[in-house]
Structure 1
Amino acid sequence: MRGLIALEEHLSTPRNDELWDAAGEAARNGRAYTAEVEARLLDAERRITAMDGAGIETAIVSLTSPGVQSVLDPRQAAELARDTNDTARRDFVDAHPGRLEFFAAVPLQDPRAAADELERAVRDLGAKGTLVNGYTNVGDENTARYLDEPANAPFWAKVAELDVPVYLHPREPLPGQRRLYEGYASLVGSAWGFGHETATHAVRLMLSGLFDTHPGLRIILGHLGEGLPFLLPRLEHRLYKQREGIGLGSARRRVSEYFEENFLVTTSGHFHTRSLDNAIAAIGADRVLFSVDYPYETMDEAVTWFTACPLSRSDHAKIGAGNARRLFDL
């Protein structure tokens, strides 16, 4: 299948790598990147070659996790976000017009600065939205701010004003919340912890009332929705049973309504046909988009799987490229 569009595709920058190197051995081990992945994160030319071979027409790239969200110094976070966005535009988009686009990095350590940088990236650099790598560290590595918290109101107001999507990308659970994974370190990251962390973060957004304040917001989740297409019916059922309890948030509607109207999902890193069918059943083929998760996954594997999926010609066209063309005005 040719002419595909992918939108959970990662890059790094020399500045990002410098920050990680300065963070010490523990942080570097936490990344657990192979040398091959490191090289591909930085290399736009190899990316284009892989896209050509697999049949991917356009990719929207973004700073790899945890990126700006993990930087403890707000000033340094703002500098990294600005440098990342300038680099993405210059070294990726401008170097390969029509083939590469980008999601902005934003320094949510200071939500007003994040709003300003998002506006600059969208209006001046042509960013297609923003990708946020989960919670944002504030103060230290065990202190986090999640996207539903009131401090982020200026950021969400700017997202609504600009009318661009927010890709909620995973990161590992906070170090102080990993007792469950002790003895099973391989579960902390993308194999399991990523999905658990991000699905819960998305549910926080649904319960917070954010989508009542800004009903037009669009949130993108990777990995076919981080398990939510399967889990939300049970969640909604139990929340109704507990409706007289505490900790229910301020949402005016059911979580399934927000999921159906304010969320989209991509196939990134989850090349499983029954899971795709479940996502389509939950939110419809118009809200599912093809993605790879390059360079952590290979383009050939993603495309081979998607091409063989027993979908209608119409759904193949929508998910493969049509939905993305409409969403991002490509």
Structure 2
Amino acid sequence: MHFKIALEEGFALPSSLAQNSPIGFTPANASPEEHLSTNLLDIHGHRLRQMDENGVELMILSLNSAGCQGLSDQTAAETLSSSANDYLEDQVMKNPKRFAAFAALSMHDPKQAADELTRCMTKKKGFVGALLNDFQSSGPNGNTMLFYDHPRYDVFWQAAADLRAPVYIHPRTPTPLINEQMWKDRPWLNLSVLGFANRVNMHLLAIITAGVLDRFPDLKLVIGHMGEHIPFEMYRLDHKLDRARFPNMKMRKDKLIRDYFGEQVFITTSGHFSTPALVCSISEIGSKSCMFSIDYPFESIPNACVWYDEIQLNQHDLVDIGRNNCLRLFPKLMQEPHNLSIKSAWDCGIGGLRNGETTYGLFNKSFNHRLMKQ
């Protein structure tokens, strides 16, 4: 598919890469172009060449995890936020046809976060929303976790809703205490294997069940990695949130978790390139809830795109998930300075009779011999 849009794509500030150490895996015999730190720092070189080679028209860039959320010192987190956003605006505006930006925000002070988001969305160019790396670390030892379902964050959610700025909730590392108690003896299960999803899905569900989306109906939230296990758990979530057992739960009494998807909550395919998982997600929450993403440079651009381009999915869902759903969620992408547009399946190279014949079928031109790769 041509003209794909990807929206969970990381970059790093040269000045803060050491303190915001990326977590990832680089093969022992990797070339310099495959090293994680190299690719986080690069925007207009190797990254853009891979986008061209794999039919990705635009990436929405965000500061690598844990970003501002990993800094328990409020002043340091707020300083990183403003400097990252200033740097990212400069980088995006070098090529706004190919890149857009998510604001990095410190969440120590909800009003300050709202003000910084407002600055990015109204006074700066290239920003279409924000990305938060899960909970905010706080306290003298970094073990205090600030979660955004607390009512004091309503001032932030109000600003995001008013600005029509979707908020992407992205994973991060656990606190030192949680790491010691849960993951130290089983580190292979932490991070992207299991820990990331388990922490983000709890946080998103906490926000929903706290009634945040009901109080702010214009607010939009996004999570990655095929929904951080939530689509698969949808029946059990809705079944077990019994209003008789939880009369104090603030979520609307006449709604199920699934009702928010496609209207206020959306998922991406970032780092989870499984066709059965995508089919499950479409079945549970609908194709308009789903968007293509890669999770570069923690994941491979060619691997993600070969998977997506070869899915046997109807062409209308394919082009919506790969592009158009993102444009509907982020309408600023269709304005200056990006000027993207909704495209048809035909525009994106999907469907139609392009190879001149259907005599022996749509997939293999020979009746007797397999011509396509095995």
Give the alignment's Cα RMSD to 1 decimal.
1.7
**Deviation string, structure 1 residues 43-88 (Cα, Å, up to 9, x no partner):** 1122111111111010000011100011122111111111111111
1:31 to 23, 35, 47: 23
Q: 2: CA distance between counterparts of 1:316 and 1:306?
A: 8
Partner of 2:189: 187
Residues 15 and 80, structure 1, Cα contact 8 Å, conserved in 2 = no
Distance 1:275 1:123 in 2: 37
8 Å contact from structure 1 (residues 15, 83) kept in 2:
no
Residue 218 of structure 1, aligned match among 208, 217, 220: 220
- Report the Cα distance in structure 2 between the residues aligned to 1:50 and 1:297, rounded to whole angstroms: 12
Q: Which position in structure 2 is the counterpart of 1:171?
A: 172
Question: Contact 2:258–2:285 (CA<8 Å) still a contact in 1?
Answer: no
What's 1:40 paired with?
Answer: 39
Q: 2:306 pairs with 290, 304, 311, which one?
A: 304
Match of 1:24 in 2: none
CA spacing shift, 1:271–1:17, aligned 2, 3 Å: same
Instruction: Kindly name which structure, 1 or 2, has the bigger radius of gyration based on alpha carbons.
Output: 2
Matched, 1:149 2:147: no
| 1:312-323 equivalence runs, <5 A | 312-323=314-325
Give the C-alpha shift of residue 305 in structure 1: 0.3
Deviation at 1:236, TM superposition (A): 1.7
Inter-partner Cα distance in structure 1 for 2:257 and 2:152: 23
1:252-291 equivalence runs, <5 A: 252=252, 253-291=255-293
Q: Distance in 2 between matches of 1:204 and 1:248?
A: 13
User: One-letter code of the match for 2:114?
Assistant: A
**Structure 1 residue ranges, 4+ long, deviating more than 3 angstroms after superposition:** 30-35, 243-248
Any residues of structure 2 matched to 1:85-96 within 5 Å, and which?
85-91=85-91, 93-96=92-95
Point out the more displaced range, 230-239 or 295-304. 230-239
Match of residue 81 from structure 2: 81
* Displacement of 1:260: 4.6
| Cα 1:260/1:249, change in 2 over 3 Å | farther
**SS at 1:40 equivalent:** helix
| Residue 32 (structure 1) shift | 5.1
Matches within 5 A, 1:109-128: 109-126=108-125, 127-128=127-128
The whole-number CA distance in structure 2 between the counterparts of 1:205 and 1:73 is 24
SS in 2 for 1:130: strand
* CA deviation after TM superposition for structure 1 residue 175, in Å: 2.9
SS, match of residue 79 in structure 1: helix
Q: Who is 1:237 aligned against?
A: 239
Opposite residue 95 of structure 1, the aligned amino acid is: K
| Structure-2 residue corresponding to 1:12 | 12
| CA distances 1:183-207 after superposition (whole Å, capped 9, x unpaired) | 2202110111001111111110111
Structure 2 unmatched runs, 5+: 27-31, 334-374
Which residue identity lines up with residue 135 of structure 1 in the other structure?
F
Whole-angstrom CA distance in 1 between matches of 2:256 and 2:2: 38
What is the Cα deviation at residue 172 of structure 1?
A: 2.5
Higher mean Cα deviation, 312-321 or 256-265? Answer: 256-265
Query: Do the aligned partners of 2:162 and 2:218 also contact (CA within 8 Å) in 1?
Result: no
Q: CA deviation at 1:257?
A: 1.8
Q: Please tell me whether residue 209 in structure 1 is matched to residue 211 in structure 2.
A: yes
Which position in structure 2 is the counterpart of 1:25? Answer: none
CA distance in structure 1 between the aligned counterparts of 2:18 and 2:305, rounded to whole angstroms: 33
Q: Take 2:153 and 2:15, find their aligned partners in 1: how far apart are those partners?
A: 26
Letter in 2 for 1:108: M
CA contact (8 A) 1:16 1:67 kept: no
Check 1:53–1:137 CA distance in 2 against 1; reply closer, same or farther (3 A cut): same
- Name the aligned partner's letter for residue 23 of structure 2: R
What SS class does the counterpart of residue 272 from structure 2 fall into? coil
Q: Name the count of aligned residue pairs.
A: 319
Task: Compare the two structures and name the one with the higher helix fraction.
Answer: 1
The TM-score with structure 1 as length reference comes to 0.92
Percent identical: 35
- Alpha-carbon separation, structure 2, partners of 1:161 and 1:208: 19
**CA shift digits 1:137-158 (9 cap, x unpaired):** 1213210111111221211111
Letter in 1 for 2:122: R
For 2:190 and 2:41, how far apart are their aligned partners in 1? 25
Contact 1:239 1:248 in 2 (8 A): no
Q: Please give the alpha-carbon distance, in whole angstroms, between the structure 2 residues aligned to 1:165 and 1:12.
A: 21
Per-residue CA deviations over 1:198-223 (Å, capped at 9, x if unaligned) read 11111101110101110121110101
Flag structure 1 segments of 5+ consecutive residues without an equivalent. 21-27
Q: Amino acid of the residue matched to residue 164 of structure 1?
A: A
Q: Which amino acid aligns with 1:69?
A: Q
Shift of 1:323: 1.1
Deviations 1:115-165 (A, max 9, x none): 111011111223110000000012132101111112212111110110110
Residue of structure 2 in register with 1:132 after alignment: 132
Q: Distance in 1 between matches of 2:163 and 2:24?
A: 35
Tell me the distance in 1 between the aligned counterparts of 2:302 and 2:150.
39
